[in-house]
Chains A and B, each alone.
Chain A
Amino acid sequence: MAVVAASGCAPAGGQGPGRRAAALGHSPAGGGLAGLLAGVLACVLAGCAGPVSTLQPAGPAAREAAQLWWGMLTVGVIVLIGVVALWLHALRRPSAMVGPAEAKRITLLWLVGGGLLLPGFTLIALLAFGIPAGHRMLPLPLAGGEAPLRIEVIGHQWWWEVHYPDSGVVLADELHLPAGQPVDVVVRSADVIHSFWIPRLAGKIDMVPGRSNLIRLQADEAGEYRGQCAEYCGVSHAFMVLRVVAHEPAAYAAWQQERGG
């Protein structure tokens, strides 16, 4: 357990599976407030490292999601403890006889303060962080104007068909991509709904027959990652796994050359 814990929960970037120890010493929280409390609690519970752990992100989108989690966990724990403490205190409090006017004042205080203001402000704060974070994850045009690499993935019961339109390379159950640069993945389905998900790189996107969806991925460093189908798609859903390999850009080019040529 201690070993797992020591392997760290750092949302900070870029550990391949073999390099988890490097996470030691990073701050567990990228998001300011989300501090030790959350990190310690979490690591004591079970550790957050793992080949498909969203809490050991290896790409910008997954990292932002993990940061959101740590921040929300911190605020959530505080709110939960606060509300439960209030409840327990109210239960045990020696009953003071309050007059009707005083009762009215207290009522208003609780209802306006706890019922309106507390959730109101929390939600505004949450959206203020969340909407921009979601926006940054979108496959928007890049600043430089050049188009990111495009890969097409088609879900089948129960395997992944991976196409590289630029080079004509076709793979099964394996996705190769260059590290350190954004990649757009177009997903489709050949049969039922699947969901394309590489937890350490980014969130998931459904593969829906009749539609194409787009998701942007980026692996910060070369290494192996694991993708898996997230939408129940039939009996072998649990085994619909995708091997993801991020290469250094030069190695990626070489790999494409070799496969495509």
Chain B
Amino acid sequence: MSGEASDWPRPRGGGKGEGGGAGTGAADKVPQSSDGDPDPARLHEDFNAVWGNPRGWRSVTIVNHTAIGLRFMLTGLGFFLFGGLLAMLIRTQLALPGHTIMTPEVYAQVFTMHGTVMMFLFAVPMMEGLAVYLLPKMLGARDLVFPRLSALGYWCYLFGGLILCASLFLGIAPDAGWFMYTPLASATYTPGPNSDFWLIGITFVEISAVSAGVELAVSILRARAPGMSLDKMPLYAWYILTMAMMIIIGFPPLILGSILLELERAAGMPFFDPTRGGDPILWQHLFWLFGHPEVYIIFLPAAGIVSTLLPVFARRPIVGYAWVVVAVLTTGFISFGLWVHHMFTVGIPMLAQAFFSAASMLVAIPTAIQVFSWIATLWLGRPVFHLPMLWLTGFLVIFVAGGLTGVMLALVPFDWQVHDTHFVVAHMHYVLVGGMFFPLIAGLYYWLPHFSGRMASPALGRWGFWLVFGGFNLNFLVMHWTGLLGMPRRVNTYEAGLGWDLPNLVSSIGGFIMAAGVVTVLADILLHFRFGRPAPDNPWQADTLEWATALPPSPYNFISLPRVEGRHPLWDQPGIGRELAAGRGGLAVIDHGRRETWGTDPASGEVREIIHLPGNTALPFLAALSLAALCIALLAKAYGVALAAAVVVAGLLLRWSWENGAHPAAAPDARTAPGDPPLHSRTADGPGLWGMALTLLADGALYLALLFGWFYLWTVGPTWQVPEGGGMAGSAGRLLLAAAVVHTLAQFGMRRMARGGALRHGAAAFAAVAAGGALALGLVYAALQAAALVVTATAHDAVIAVVLGYSLAHLGMATAVTLLQALRVRRGYVGLEAPYEPLVVARLWHYNGGVLWSSYAALVLFPPAWGGAWGGV
């Protein structure tokens, strides 16, 4: 932080070239080695030939992050409007006592869908979309490192969201509240397909969240501008990195929970049924293990927007960069230890409650550090006031108020009173709307010139702000009071005379004012696309690289890639945009026909290789479409169709992984310019290694959540039953042990292949390793048979079946991709010059080894050690 005072922004001369195109080729003052620059317009054409987006129906093949990011945001906006409409329905119903424009059945669907849509289909995807759009530009890269994954994520999100919302129009929407507490959500008490829409639809949407998480994290770590060491990264990237890691670790417990609850509903496996040894509280643990981090997954990227905009408007670097980074990382870390504060009334031991109470309050500290860093930045800067600052000020007021009621709720004896009342509804909207929606609008206004090349009008924008701000507070400030007056949440109506009439009416009026404000803001944004004045270059005089692209940007972002020397590239080199457009940065050639960006060192940001990126392809779209078919088939309980769809999905994904690495469709030409590093697929160190590692981290979080459930039920499940005979004692346990041993041997083989054995022993050796995997798979299957489980009788047998099923699926996957490696060796896509893929596959093998041994420990060794009643052990 030492040099902070010295890197103040230097005012730049009035550059006011029209946006669009790739710059005007104006003479540049900063001299740089260049021998006869090519014509920028020609360069743009050449790059567009490789990077350009097709139109018409072919636009479903687009994988470019700019297009995908915009799609995410537009779709998120659509879902926000839908969720907002539902909110208006709720407020209309509650405006007057005894008001029943909706039946209780419909009301339940409406509040459940409002919460679900806002959390899963608006807040998270919106923030991801913005990050997908911005990050490569801010980091000085051309795209995210797994563009097809971004596209897959988008389509899963769109289709999943549509399936979920369609249920409301069919009148069979989820209706047990956005956290789907079982037994209410179980087949006994919700026999219709309502809960299935939630469980299957949300899991489908979750694929999108997790893939965006992996994508963003790897891109931040591995594809930054040369020279951008971690300590020079824009703060926004730190926030998104933390969010991405939290998604990777936080979403899998919910995915697991949803799978278990769906298995309980569809196949009668009683994980949460207390009459058969399950426990409904386990669902709550799994849900909130995800649910609490979720609110920070929503808040942190929004805070990242604040930390990005505020210094620009304060005209100085943020105060306490390192403090903020540590605060953000700490928030992410702590937020995994707080989930029980949503469960203070379920009867958890008092000591645990005190622990989670104190831990919950602890998050106030990193949050306060950020708030005071923002205040200090304004204090020491020379603030200028533009519309986004108004929204940031609104954010501060509302978010701090919400944070304060949050600390109050963390105090257990107070929470016992207001939990599940409208006080909590008010609190959560203060943090969600204040902490997410206000910064989002600030950010949208700030980046508007980026999306449109134009500036918005200040007048209409101010109206919109005051309507939203005033309406919001009228609505939700009063709602705290309604809650304290004893109004429970999720009541479809209430009697007159309980003291709730007036505050509810006031809240409803406030809600409608807020809605008018939202409409005003949207109108402002829409109008500006037509009437806004063209934006000058870097209109806010910002410091981050996204303002060095054309406005609006071309799909490739930069004709040539920048090198970064400090934290504020555009303040250090105001003319860098034109430099880059003239082809005076890195990787300025395109005649090889590859999409390329730098692969850099995670810590130092120095160049390690060239990452070549796949071009447009329909595979993600088709895969998502087949997944949608799979979901619909599951909802319709047409399991034959579901199986067929699953086979198609698997086929498409294998095809996807086939067109990778040294495959001609991926990199037709492996030559690089003299002096440039090799292509990543020709090294032993590509981003796929990181992608695999982070995917396995998510996978591991899911598996750990499963083991958590197992140990939880054994140790604190109140009605846990261990059936006589069967189970993993005896031969089933020995078969599992044998599987683990066989797998370990095969794993050694895989390790040798990854270390270069592939080059010497070729396809046959891969096939041998795969055979080892298949043998282990067969042994696990035999163990499953020998265990003679009755999965509908006890939670005990149901959990064992899932643990073994998980291993089976993973062993099958590893065997298949290893066979594919054998084929690829034969085709020459893997070999001496392309040694990279076996390394990626080896990670899966090591992971599976870990899974088998820990399953053995958990299923076979743990129960007798705990003292389970197993006759024969």
Taking beta carbons and an 8 Å cutoff, which residues of A are in contact with B?
Answer: 1, 4, 42, 45-55, 61-62, 64-66, 68-69, 72, 76, 79-80, 83-84, 86-88, 90-91, 93, 95, 98-100, 103-104, 106-107, 110-111, 113-116, 118-120, 122-123, 126-127, 130-131, 133-135, 137-138, 157, 191-193, 195, 197, 199-200, 202-206, 208-211, 213-214, 226, 228-238
Contact = CB atoms under 8 A, between A and B. Distances in A.
Contact of A208 (B280, B485, B490, B493): B280
A91 B393 contact: yes
A27 B743 CA distance: 73
17 contacts: A46-B499, A53-B484, A54-B485, A76-B407, A80-B404, A90-B383, A115-B365, A115-B370, A123-B362, A123-B407, A130-B411, A134-B350, A209-B183, A211-B281, A231-B420, A232-B420, A234-B108
A208 B347 CA distance: 9
B381 to A, nearest CB: 7
Contacts of A123: 358, 361-362, 364-365, 407
Contacts of B858: none
Contacts of B499: 4, 46-47, 49-53
Interface of B: 4-6, 104-105, 108, 176-177, 181, 183-184, 189, 274-275, 279-281, 319-320, 323, 327, 345-347, 350, 353-354, 357-358, 361-362, 364-365, 367-376, 378-383, 385, 389, 393, 396-397, 400-401, 404-405, 407-408, 411-421, 478, 481, 484-494, 497-500, 502-503, 718-719
Contacts, number: 280
Contacts of B485: 46, 48, 50, 52-55
B830 to A, nearest CB: 52
B485 to A, nearest CB: 5
B221 to A, nearest CB: 27
A100 B6 contact: yes
A123 B275 CA distance: 42
A74 B4 CA distance: 38
Given A200-B486, A204-B420, 15 more contacts: A79-B400, A87-B393, A106-B379, A115-B365, A134-B350, A191-B183, A191-B189, A203-B415, A203-B419, A204-B417, A206-B346, A211-B347, A232-B181, A238-B491, A238-B492
A91 B378 contact: yes
Contacts of A88: 393
B345 A107 contact: no
B411 A68 contact: yes
A197 to B, nearest CB: 8
| Residue with the highest number of chain B CB atoms closer than 10 Å, among A49, A93, A120, A206 | A206
B347 A203 contact: no
Given A83-B371, A213-B347, A107 B416 contact: no
A53 B378 CA distance: 42
| Residue with the highest number of chain A CB atoms closer than 10 Å, among B320, B353, B486 | B486
Given A72-B411, A76-B408, A237 B490 contact: yes
A52 to B, nearest CB: 3
Contacts of B413: 61, 64-65, 68, 130, 133-134, 137, 203
Nearest to A136: B413
A65 B183 contact: no
A241 B320 CA distance: 53
B67 to A, nearest CB: 37
B417 A199 contact: yes
A184 B279 CA distance: 25
A208 B281 contact: yes
Given A65-B414, A204-B417, A229-B488, A210 B274 contact: yes
A210 to B, nearest CB: 3
Contacts of A42: 481
B389 A52 contact: no
Given A46-B503, A203-B416, A90 B400 contact: no
Contacts of A127: 357-358, 361, 411
Nearest to B6: A100
Nearest to B378: A90
A86 B376 CA distance: 9
| Residue with the highest number of chain A CB atoms closer than 10 Å, among B419, B484, B497 | B484
Given A91-B393, A192-B184, A126 B369 contact: no
Contacts of B4: 100, 103-104
B694 to A, nearest CB: 31
A124 B362 CA distance: 10
Given A83-B396, A103-B5, A134-B413, A206 B347 contact: yes
A46 B502 contact: yes
Nearest to B319: A107
A118 B497 CA distance: 42
B404 A76 contact: yes
Contacts of B381: 95
Nearest to B177: A232
A114 B411 contact: no
Contacts of A157: 189
A203 B353 CA distance: 15
Nearest to B503: A46
A197 B389 CA distance: 44
B714 to A, nearest CB: 15
Given A53-B486, A137-B416, A79 B274 contact: no
Contacts of A103: 4-5, 319, 380
Nearest to A95: B382
Contact of A234 (B189, B350, B383, B396): B189
Contacts of A193: 181, 183-184, 280
A110 B171 CA distance: 54
B373 A130 contact: no
Given A95-B381, A205-B345, A119 B368 contact: yes
Contacts of B401: 76, 80
B378 A87 contact: yes
B492 to A, nearest CB: 5
Contacts of B361: 123, 126-127
A135 B380 CA distance: 46
Contact of B375 (A51, A114, A237): A114
A45 B362 contact: no
B177 A84 contact: no
A54 B484 contact: yes
Nearest to A107: B319
A115 to B, nearest CB: 3
Nearest to B488: A230
CB-based closest 6 A-B pairs: A203-B416, A210-B274, A50-B499, A52-B486, A100-B5, A115-B369
Contacts of A235: 104-105, 108, 492
Nearest to B494: A238
B489 to A, nearest CB: 8
Contact of A50 (B189, B362, B372, B486): B486
Given A69-B414, A203-B413, A210 B719 contact: yes
A213 B353 CA distance: 15
A53 B831 CA distance: 74
A157 B12 CA distance: 69
A68 B414 CA distance: 7
A45 B486 CA distance: 16
Contacts of A211: 274, 281, 347, 718
Nearest to A199: B486
A65 B414 CA distance: 5
Contacts of B503: 46
Contacts of B6: 100
Contacts of B491: 237-238
Contacts of B280: 193, 208-210
Contacts of A65: 413-414, 416-417
A93 B376 CA distance: 12
A76 B430 CA distance: 14
Contacts of B353: 134
B172 to A, nearest CB: 14
A50 B485 CA distance: 7
Contacts of A130: 357, 411-414
| Residue with the highest number of chain A CB atoms closer than 10 Å, among B105, B354, B499 | B499
